[in-house]
Chains A and B, each alone.
Chain A
Amino acid sequence: SQQGEEDPQALSIQEGENATMNCSYKTSINNLQWYRQNSGRGLVHLILIRSNEREKHSGRLRVTLDTSKKSSSLLITASRAADTASYFCAAGNNDMRFGAGTRLTVKP
């Protein structure tokens, strides 16, 4: 079964708004990673958060991790039309498993 499960499945917002995506996982993990995928393309790594970290920032991205709830969130602030893509979390130890993703649409 898949490790990460993203929520919501789809999200549509206006440019300038913030976008929040959530991910839940099932087993203990070493780290959790967020990726972005433009339609039909490969995955691009966004940010990694280790199991002993609670929050991490990278530019307009903010990731939180709650190991007690086995959940993580990705916040994209001040969204842009170019942020339109699918976002996936991957969690695990040696076996990194992905969720089904959140399809984000940012309207100009």
Chain B
Amino acid sequence: NAGVTQTPKFRVLKTGQSMTLLCAQDMNHEYMYWYRQDPGMGLRLIHYSVGEGTTAKGEVPDGYNVSRLKKQNFLLGLESAAPSQTSVYFCASMKGTQYFGPGTRLTVL
């Protein structure tokens, strides 16, 4: 039982490049979330999903897209990365409580 895993762990992008962050959970949870955390701050909700095939916007959705084609996976896409998207990205799944992945540290130059 791996819990929540995130791929990759680290990434450096140039402005304008695109990438996809993968979150996978093996707990059969319906709810999944993507957050970003900037230095010294709390987590801000980007997008979330309440089940396969559904997504919803959170607090800071601009510049990001998500997809939940399979129940166990929640993908976060950056179509055209900007330096303001430099952050640590956390994925979580939830059944009652949230279970977090280890995070992806993204730097956009």
Taken residue by residue from 75 to 109, chain B's Cβ proximity to chain A (1 for < 8 Å, 0 otherwise) reads as 00000000000000010101011111111000000
Interface size on A, residues (CB 8 A): 22
By a CB distance below 8 angstroms, the chain B residues around A90 are: 43, 98
By a CB distance below 8 angstroms, the chain B residues around A44 are: 100
Q: Determine if A100 and B42 form an interchain contact, defined as CB atoms under 8 angstroms apart.
A: yes
Q: Determine if B103 and A42 form an interchain contact, defined as CB atoms under 8 angstroms apart.
A: yes
Chain B minimum-CB-distance residue to A99: B42
Q: Is the interface of B mostly helix, strand, loop or mixed?
A: strand
Q: Determine if A95 and B58 form an interchain contact, defined as CB atoms under 8 angstroms apart.
A: yes
Interface residues on B, range: 20 to 34
Interface residue B44 (Cβ < 8 Å from any Cβ of A): yes
A90 CA to B31 CA in the complex, in Å? Answer: 15
Q: Determine if B43 and A98 form an interchain contact, defined as CB atoms under 8 angstroms apart.
A: yes
Q: Determine if B90 and A88 form an interchain contact, defined as CB atoms under 8 angstroms apart.
A: no
By a CB distance below 8 angstroms, the chain A residues around B33 are: 96
Taken residue by residue from 23 to 60, chain B's Cβ proximity to chain A (1 for < 8 Å, 0 otherwise) reads as 00000000101010000011111001010000010110
A94 CA to B45 CA in the complex, in Å? Answer: 11
Chain A minimum-CB-distance residue to B48: A95
By a CB distance below 8 angstroms, the chain B residues around A95 are: 45, 48, 56, 58
A84 CA to B102 CA in the complex, in Å? Answer: 19
Residues of chain B having any CB pair with chain A under 8 Å: 31, 33, 35, 41-45, 48, 50, 56, 58-59, 90, 92, 94, 96-103
What are 10 A-B pairs with beta-carbon distances under 8 A? Answer: A2-B42, A2-B59, A33-B98, A41-B103, A43-B98, A44-B100, A94-B56, A95-B48, A96-B98, A98-B45
